[in-house]
């Protein structure tokens, strides 16, 4: 077994694709409209689907926002330098919601950014 993807419902697909590709540096791997169902699926990631876990962005055409609820936590992305990654994200217009620094009660360096729909993304230092 292998983890294939995580699906996020997004209110504005163009805005979300811009964030994940231009701000976080992922690539749009594939996208397809389903007119009869009134939704679009777009898959983004850092690698190909056959050997990497990716994100599925689902845009339901008649829904512009979602209540994220209290059950969702975050997606984690490993980076070489959390501080440098935050500066790059900030300069690209991304929103840092927890500045880089040591984890509470630990030494792991991390930060959190938020996508346009309010989903949190944790940046973790790989070193």
For the annotated catalytic residues, the residue numbers are 122
The b-or-e profile of 56-84 (16+ CB within 10 A means b, else e) is bbbbbeeeeeeeeeeeeeeeebebeebee
Helix H or strand E segment including 42: strand 39-45
CA distance 114 to 94: 7
> Residue 1 carries which DSSP code?
-
């Amino acid at each position: 077994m292998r983890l294939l993807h995580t699906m996020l419902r997004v209110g504005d697909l163009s805005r979300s694709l811009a964030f994940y590709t231009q701000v976080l540096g992922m690539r749009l791997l594939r996208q397809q409209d389903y007119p009869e169902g009134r939704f679009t699926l777009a898959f983004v990631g850092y690698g190909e689907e056959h050997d990497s876990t990716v994100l599925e962005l689902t845009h339901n055409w008649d829904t512009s926002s979602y209540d994220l609820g209290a059950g969702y936590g975050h997606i984690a992305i490993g980076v070489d330098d959390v501080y440098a990654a935050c500066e790059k994200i900030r300069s690209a217009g991304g929103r840092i919601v927890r500045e880089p620094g040591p984890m509470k009660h630990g030494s792991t360096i991390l930060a959190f950014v938020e996508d346009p729909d309010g989903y949190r993304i944790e940046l973790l230092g790989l070193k």
